[in-house]
Amino acid sequence: MTTTDPRVASGDVSPADFRHAIGHFATGVTVVTSVGIDGEPVGTTANAVSSLSLDPPLILVCFDRSSQTLEAVLAHGAFAVNVLGARQQHLSANFARRGLSAAWDGVRHRRGRTGSPRLEDVIASLEATVEHRLDGGDHEIIVGRVREVETSGDDAAPLVFWRGSYASLGTWSSPDFPNATPPPLPPRTPPRRRPRTPPPDACASLYDLTFSLCVTGKDPAVTTTESAGLPSTGTPSTPLPGIDLQDPVRVAEGLRDEFRLGAAERDRDRAFPYEQCAAFRASGLLGLMVPREYGGYGGTFAELMRVVIAISAGDSNIGQMYQLHTGGIRLLQEFASPDVQARWLPRFASGELWITNAYSEVGTRSVNDFNTTVTRDGAGWRLNGRKFYCTGSLAGDLTFGPCRIEGTDEVRVFYTPTDAEGVTIHDDWTGFGQRTTASGTTEFRNVWIPDELVLGSPDTEGGGGGDITSLNYQAVHTGVFVGIAKNALDDAVEFVRTKARVWYESSAERATGDLFTQLRVGEMKTAVDAAELLSLRAADLCDEAVAHLGDARIRGEASLVTGQARHAAAEAALFNGSYLFKVCGAGSVLEKYGFDRHWRNARTLSLHNPLDFKLLHAGDYLLNDTLPPVDSYN
């Protein structure tokens, strides 16, 4: 038997070794909140939280000495501990990764008894006033006297954090710590996201999400455990927390009704839908198209089409942003190796990560020419370039797009966190339609990307070659058009029923009884129904293509019908967006209604991919049996 004198051992344990060892201690996850000196809410993710005494009721929280939340707690004299449930990874990641003010975008909360923010829908919240302030090495220990508690019910499952990964009771995903560390960068300014620039200590990269919340306690409470490599979640046998979609269409229809509220005002003010995006993330729909073996719902194209139609009937901007997320998932499935898929797909399934895009560039010869490049650097690449039409950039955690290997014409596809060092997102989209999609500029300056996230090499292990990814892009766009057409029809019907006056030459008593109005509304309804039926037929054919990978004819026919559906849906959206005014009359042009957004949104989206070529391909196939090309736009 060997004993060790702790006095002799002291100082022999490195911070990295201690962090690794203490990471084996499973904890819950909380968001600690308070009020800043400016009266605005502040908060940080933390799991260095513990009960200290039952009588009196005392709670202990550890903060990094540089924490801005600590500063707020000391000034305010009170704080709240919000205990997260298994489906609230997005809140943990939000307050661990983003700037203090940006972290509250779209987060529902209310002031508690002490004035500290209490997050809605958490499984428990405890408000406390500061009793003691103690030294804790590189941390400061705050002891609070609990003044009020609230729980959501004993059956709620907690969010668990263990060895660098989220888990829930009965579920664990084992992390894998790769040894490759990105080469050091020279000192640079912190990652920037304009116009909302987070403070320097609020910008941890998603490459570093093998983090130990309890050890840092910073704003954000994130640091790497063993390396800056990518965590591996393995292949979970059960869905990860956040996926509870018994009926995704019903979930989408609920969000549709929620998103309609304020959509006209957001369009008018060019206000990004932060709150709505947070609700979408929390809904579980980000995991709809992730395969079940990776913790997702394993949805079909038919389900995706119905979901997109419903979401877009509430706010087409969110529907379009969702397109890039589902496309990014499908592309990863087709081009990434199984190991890479196992590391990343569960994080999309859980709602932790929302994918945005950085595909197009301005100033090139065509949409398929790229000036953005990657250059080999050690175990990874350096990305440099400037992208535009980066739809969803303000909502996304991870962005992807094409680039060339420097000095060659070889095209690869990169994935990188939106808060990685060297990434700058500009909120500079000024298009007259789809105003709140954040489709502006993203810059990349010497951004380091690990080798496994620069995809598309000839020896790729993923397979598929993009056959299904391109179908995904076009199918979702089609659903957005149908949603716009439905939204315009719904607004027209509501206006006629509640506000429109009957013309004096009509024999009807009310606008709803006018024969011309009934005719026009019938035309709008027919346009919507025809487009929707064709879009669902296209979705079924896309599912057939998934079931018969490698069959060029089945895939080609799916592409053709999807193109026809896209044309029909765009025409229906443009028709309804214009006809609405003919149905509703002069009063409908008032800016407060925002009805013009339907046509503007449809026209803007229709220019993304020229509709004439869809009909050309259909005609060429019918006349010459020629299948359309396989690329991002077909």
Residue type, 271: A
Share of the chain above pLDDT 70, in %: 81
> Which pLDDT score is estimated for 178?
38
Joined together, the tokens standing for residue 167 give 């888990």
* Pair 69, 32: CB distance under 8 Å: yes
Pairing of strands 160-162, 355-357: unpaired
Angle of helix 467-498 relative to helix 301-314, nearest 10 degrees? 40
Please determine, for residue 174, whether its predicted confidence score (pLDDT) is greater than 50. no
Q: How far apart are CA 129 and CA 115, in angstroms?
A: 10
- Scan for tokens 């609070």, then name that residue: 144
The string of DSSP letters for 354-374 reads -EEE----SSSSSTT----EE
- Eight-class DSSP state of 501: P
Q: Please provide the size of the chain in residues.
A: 634
Q: Which of 147-156, 222-231, 405-414 has the lowest mean pLDDT?
A: 222-231
Quickly count: other Cβ atoms within 10 Å of residue 292's Cβ.
16
Joined together, the tokens standing for residue 244 give 């509870």
Q: In the sheet that 30-35 helps form, which strands lie side by side, from edge to edge?
A: 41-46, 30-35, 78-83, 124-136, 139-151, 58-64, 49-53
Apex CA 552: angle with CA 550 and CA 553, to 5°? 135
Q: Quick one: pLDDT band at residue 86, thresholds 50, 70, 90?
A: confident
- Classify residue 409 by burial, with Cβ atoms within 10 Å: 0-12, 13-18, 19+: exposed
> Which pLDDT score is estimated for 14?
66
Please determine, for residue 214, whether its predicted confidence score (pLDDT) is greater than 50. no
Residue type, 124: A
Please determine, for residue 539, whether its predicted confidence score (pLDDT) is greater than 50. yes
* Pair 175, 165: CB distance under 8 Å: yes
* Pair 229, 181: CB distance under 8 Å: yes
Q: What are phi and psi of 325, to 5 degrees?
A: -65, -50
> Which pLDDT score is estimated for 166?
63
What is the pLDDT averaged over residues 385-404? Answer: 93
- Classify residue 260 by burial, with Cβ atoms within 10 Å: 0-12, 13-18, 19+: middle
- Scan for tokens 């969803």, then name that residue: 392
Please determine, for residue 628, whether its predicted confidence score (pLDDT) is greater than 80. yes
Please determine, for residue 8, whether its predicted confidence score (pLDDT) is greater than 70. no
383/101: higher pLDDT:
383
Q: Quick one: pLDDT band at residue 106, thresholds 50, 70, 90?
A: confident
Name the nearest CA neighbour of 94 among 86, 83, 105: 105
> Which pLDDT score is estimated for 208?
34
* Pair 583, 520: CB distance under 8 Å: yes
Joined together, the tokens standing for residue 17 give 């070794």
Q: Which of 1-15, 257-271, 479-493, 563-577 has the lowest mean pLDDT?
A: 1-15
The string of DSSP letters for 69-83 reads HHHHHHHHSEEEEEE
Please determine, for residue 487, whether its predicted confidence score (pLDDT) is greater than 60. yes
253/209: higher pLDDT:
253
Please determine, for residue 196, whether its predicted confidence score (pLDDT) is greater than 80. no
Q: How far apart are CA 173 and CA 166, in angstroms?
A: 8
* Pair 76, 34: CB distance under 8 Å: yes
Task: Select the highest-mean-pLDDT range: 209-213, 350-354, 518-522.
Answer: 518-522
Q: Quick one: pLDDT band at residue 460, thresholds 50, 70, 90?
A: very low
- Scan for tokens 């419903």, then name that residue: 310
Name all domains of the chain by residue range, CATH numbers in brackets.
Answer: 17-232 (2.30.110.10), 467-624 (1.20.140.10)
